[in-house]
Amino acid sequence: QIAEGVCDSSDFAGTSVEAPVGGAEAIRAAIESGAVLVSDDALGLDVMLEAGRMGRTPGADFALVACGAEPIAAETHPQLTTISLNGEEIGRRLFDTLISRASGDRQDAPRVTDVAPTLIARQT
């Protein structure tokens, strides 16, 4: 309602402001596009719920990939495809680098270390 009021006021003032797309509306539009990539597994679950309301099934009617590799992603039906950012590996490499530098063993240890994400392909 606030957004509608702003848009109405802007029309009155001779300017134009488009109403923002709401969350559910944005999710429905993404589902209709045929492929959805979201920033975390919780949002992936939201997409799955909205898809159910639309009578659509992730993995059958559209592709869905989330990020985070949370344990719940493997428990959904269908199971949520997700991307692991490999936080444990990042932590392990950080610890090893800090210990090496602190002990003086590896002052030349790299300042940047890439840890590639891992796709955990499931049913969506």
Based on the number of CB atoms within 10 Å of its own CB, is 82 exposed (0-12), middle (13-18) or buried (19 or more)? buried
Mean pLDDT across 45-61: 97
Count how many domains the chain has: 1
Q: What value does the mean pLDDT take over residues 8-18?
A: 55
Q: Considering only CA atoms, which of 75, 50, 73, 74 is closest in space to residue 62? A: 50
Q: Answer yes or no: is 103 within a domain.
A: yes
Residue 15 within a domain: no
Residue 23: inside a domain, yes or no? no
Q: Indicate if the pLDDT at residue 57 is higher than 80.
A: yes
Range of the domain at 82: 34-120
pLDDT tens-digit readout, 60-104: 999 999 999 999 999 999 999 999 999 999 999 888 888 887 887
Position 1 scores a pLDDT of 46
Residue 18 falls inside a structural domain:
no
pLDDT at 103: 81
Indicate if the pLDDT at residue 41 is higher than 60. Answer: yes
Structural domain includes residue 76: yes
The closest of 85, 75, 77, 76 to 40, measured between CA atoms, is 85
Q: Would residue 53 count as lying in a domain?
A: yes
Q: What CA–CA distance (Å, rounded) separates 42 from 53? A: 17
Residue 92 CA to its chain's centroid (Å):
24
In-domain check, residue 4: no
Q: What is the mean pLDDT of residues 28-46?
A: 94
CATH number at residue 104: 3.40.50.2300
> Within a domain: residue 13?
no
**Sheet of 118-120, strands arranged across:** 35-37, 63-67, 81-84, 118-120
